[in-house]
A = this chain, B = another copy of it.
Amino acid sequence: MTRRTFHRAPEGERRQELIEATLDSIAEFGLKGATVRQIALKAGVTAGLVRHYFDSKDQMVADAYRLVLSTFAVKAIEVDGDARARLRGFISRNLTAPVANGRSLSLWASFISQVRVDPELAAIHREGYLGFRNDLQGLIADLLAAEGKPHGEAECRRLAIAINGMIDGLWLEGCLAGELFEETELVSIALASAEALLGLPLGPLEQNTDAS
């Protein structure tokens, strides 16, 4: 009848572990299967601990959604270089891991299916998605200006919608059936298609030179 031994996690670490375990559970078992007990099991703690770190399970899930969106949001501003390089980088980074893989799609679908139900998730969603297409539209306007082919806002908007749609759709295809594509196939298709839509060359596929 001895109590199970445990170790006290350092400052803030356990909270992070619980959020990660929440995402793992949702990706693996769906929202229905991501019970407090299941999540605690994955995190290697007992269920009661969840409410030591979060006001409720729902709040923990909401925090987990924030984390997902922050890894998805490859902000335009995070890409360096001239207008062309920035658009290339934006497209490329949105179509490769960790943004594009099966786990991401599972998580994304799980949360999207709840956005219409849960007002708190809806607020997080709105916040996270606002600006994604605006970033892209800004990149496109910059590029057209730099190439000496400036266009009005309406045309930039149409281009941004089309290219954004293509990125989203290729992301979907990559997540749903990533094993059917070569490593860089989707990215090069996206770049070539963006060229066709813009009527501009974007240059060769950028190699990933991140130091990280």
Contact = CB atoms under 8 A, between A and B. Distances in A.
B165 A30 contact: no
Contacts of A162: 166, 170, 189-190, 192-193
Q: Is the interface of A mostly helix, strand, loop or mixed?
A: helix
A28 interface: yes
**Interface size class of chain A, counting residues whose CB lies under 8 Å from the partner chain:** 35 or more
Interface string A166-185: 11111111001000010001
Given A31-B32, A112-B109, A173 B165 contact: yes
A69 interface: no
Interface of A: 27-33, 102, 105-106, 108-110, 112-114, 116-117, 129, 158, 161-162, 164-173, 176, 181, 185-186, 189-190, 192-193, 196-197, 199
24 contacts: A27-B116, A28-B116, A28-B117, A29-B117, A30-B114, A30-B117, A32-B114, A109-B109, A109-B110, A109-B113, A158-B192, A161-B173, A161-B181, A161-B185, A161-B186, A162-B170, A162-B189, A162-B190, A164-B173, A165-B169, A193-B197, A196-B197, A196-B199, A197-B197
